[in-house]
Amino acid sequence: MNQPDRFPLDPDGIHPETVPKREVPGTGAKIPVIGLGTFGSDHVSGEQVAEAVVGAARVGYRHFDCASVYGNEHLIGSSFRQILASGVRRQDLWVTSKLWNDKHGEKDVIPSCEKSLKDLQLEYVDLYLIHWRDKE
């Protein structure tokens, strides 16, 4: 078992090591089967989503699903900084971000990923995927 997190887990939380993980074929990477999506829609502010990320980490979440199109990655980046500053190791998180439909062009993919990295305040994401395929 890895060194325990120093992040203050809530009494109702579970230790992240007990959350089942699935191996990504051919990579050796393991993704926690339970994650938090960060889409806030028009019912939840970006700030509330960012607070939910920290709250989720406090109860044991280590998998976070983000996307630039949600418009809140810059706020979630502050949450990740707080989580990492508390002692959670980056390698113990699984962070996904997504490429939006209007960024599929060859000249757009890398800058879009770099913007997500900057906004999320991370050196890497564990998965960068196409949000959905453009039919054109």
Give, for all 136 residues of the chain, the pLDDT tens digit. 444 455 667 788 888 888 999 999 999 999 999 999 999 878 899 999 999 999 999 999 999 999 999 999 999 999 999 999 999 999 999 999 998 888 888 899 999 999 999 999 999 999 998 877 766 6
Answering whether pTM is above 0.85, one says yes
CA dist., res. 70 & res. 73, Å (int): 7
Asked if 128 contacts 67 with a C-beta cutoff of 8 angstroms, the reply is: no
pLDDT of residue 2: 47
User: What local confidence, expressed as pLDDT, does residue 3 receive?
Assistant: 46
> Which of 3.40.50.720, 3.50.50.60, 3.20.20.100, 1.10.1520.10 is the CATH number of 29-130?
3.20.20.100
Angle among Cα 113, 96, 82 to the nearest 5 degrees reads 95
CA distance 108 to 79: 26
DSSP secondary structure letter of residue 91 = G
What pLDDT, on the 0 to 100 scale, is given for residue 77?
98
Angle formed at CA 58 by CA 54 and CA 60, multiple of 5 degrees? 115
Q: Which residues are catalytic, by number?
A: 70
Nearest to 58 by CA among 7, 125, 111: 7
- Domain spans in the chain, listed from the N-terminal domain onward: 29-130
Q: How does strand 30-32 pair with strand 21-23? A: antiparallel
**How many other CB atoms sit within 10 Å of the CB of residue 127?**
13
In the numeric block, which tokens belong to residue 104? 């599929």
pLDDT at position 56 = 95
27 alpha-carbon distance from chain centroid? 19
